[in-house]
Amino acid sequence: MRMTSETTLPASCSPAPESSPLNARDFRDGMARMGGAVHLVTSDGPQGWAGFAASAVCSVTDDPPTLLVCLRRDSSAHAAVTGNGVLCVNTLEADHQALSALFGGKTPMDTRRAAADWAQLATGAPVLADARVAFDCRIAHSLGMGTHDVLFCEVLAVAHGASAQGGLYYTERQYRRLAPLPA
């Protein structure tokens, strides 16, 4: 929908009055409808091993190959990820739902690490052995915004998984299988 100053919205889509800021709960409820692929973002190095579940990941540019990863500053993984300066974005398959839940909670890092098999590529960041795809990255730039750091991550290596069962997707506050529609 293209918005102009003359656009009339249905009552269910009314914008907030300009005099009041958008309520955080309304924003989160809207974001829940966006949905996205689920990833495990992992790091290892001088600051230790860390990993967290994320859906706030997207491509930025292919020259140089760069991803954007959003990381909450008060997360248990923040100090290690930013201190190590490297990370791997491991995109999950549909059967990784339990692993994603483990990385999204308050589970200790040692338990997260022991829950899967890991390899390494160029940076030494942990690569999930059965990821749908893994992007091994160096953090090139960081920008603080509200409660999060926005990490611009230069991709140094990519590993393609063998499975093609369909990716794990998160929308409406629940997991879904991402699979092709019938032709």
**Structural domain includes residue 11:** no
- pTM here is 0.84
**Structural domain includes residue 99:** yes
CATH of the domain at 126: 2.30.110.10
- What pLDDT, in 10s, does the model give residues 106-151? 899 999 999 999 999 999 999 999 999 999 999 999 999 999 999 9
How many domains, the chain?
A: 1
**Structural domain includes residue 101:** yes
**Structural domain includes residue 142:** yes
Q: Is the pLDDT of residue 17 over 80?
A: no
- pLDDT for res 5: 45
**Structural domain includes residue 55:** yes
Residue 139 belongs to domain spanning: 35-160
**Structural domain includes residue 27:** no
**Structural domain includes residue 169:** no
Which residues touch 129 (CB under 8 Å, ≥6 apart)?
116, 117, 118, 119
**Structural domain includes residue 23:** no
